[in-house]
Amino acid sequence: MFPRLAPAVLLALVITAAGSHPGFAAEDSVVATVNGHDILLSDVRAAHRRLPQQYQQVPFETIFTGLVDSLIDTRLAAADARRRNLHQQQEFKDQMARIENQVLQRMVLSKTIKEVVSDADVRSRYKKSAKERAASGQVKARHILVETEDKAKAVIADLKKGGDFAALARERSTGPSASDGGNLGFFGRGQMVPAFEAAAFKLKKGAFTETPVKTQFGWHVILVEDRKKSEVPSFEDLEQFLRNGTIPGGRHRLY
């Protein structure tokens, strides 16, 4: 929350919660009211779409509360600034003029793209992307990273004798996930380096690689603990990216 707000601003704040999660029927549902001005569910969705690409991959339901808090903080801070007449200062007016030009530039580019790329094209791209995401799925994996192939083979030998994967990871892995038993959580295609991804997605649930996997980081032994279907973002969340011919997300290369 915005720190050290003036008492007058705090007294003027009235927040009316419409629910603890975004399970509302209409986009005009009021999720909060600040100084008499409503924050709508559609405002929260718009804030989600303005996030950097990597954060847009976080499910809306997961980040919903944080987005609402951020919008409330912004309204409170703006009210406090107006109370101090900061909006009358020349610095504010100069920055607003620059922002106006930037927004107008984005609007004309967006309009041009929309005129060139038809709605049917965008829908077709979305269906193709959604199908690919749904088919690719995700795996939940652990890994043990060591410096040499021989060390990786020794780990595999111990696993075949009944060794505990997490315990061996804590003991031998040189990767940053070692303290957590090599846990990498769930990930989808395109998020790991190619060799690691290829090996992980070939494994069945509960299986580990019986041949060491080499990447630029070293030699890996991989265990797949679970598999699930990938979540497909809504058309609204991807529309602008699809019109631009891009898909949000990218390879984080293990770490």
Q: Give residue-wise pLDDT tens across range 146-155.
A: 999 999 999 9
Q: Is the pLDDT of residue 23 over 50?
A: no
Summarize pLDDT for 183-228 with one digit per residue, the tens. Answer: 999 988 888 999 999 999 999 999 999 999 999 999 999 999 999 8
Q: Which of 60, 5, 4, 64 is nearest to 34 (CA)?
A: 5
pTM, 2 dp: 0.46
Give the Cα separation of 222 and 187 in Å (integer).
13
Question: Higher model confidence: residue 225 or residue 134?
Answer: 225
138-228 has CATH 3.40.120.10 classification: no
Q: What does DSSP assign to residue 208? A: B
Is 230 in contact with 137 (CB distance < 8 Å)?
yes
Distance in angstroms between the alpha carbons of the first and the last residue of the chain: 30
Give the position of tokens 């020794």: 154
Closest CA to 24 of 80, 68, 78: 68
Instruction: Count CB-CB contacts under 10 A for residue 147.
Output: 11
Domain borders along the chain are 7-88, 89-136+238-250, 138-228
- Sheet strand arrangement including 218-228: 183-188, 138-146, 218-228, 213-215
Position 135 scores a pLDDT of 60
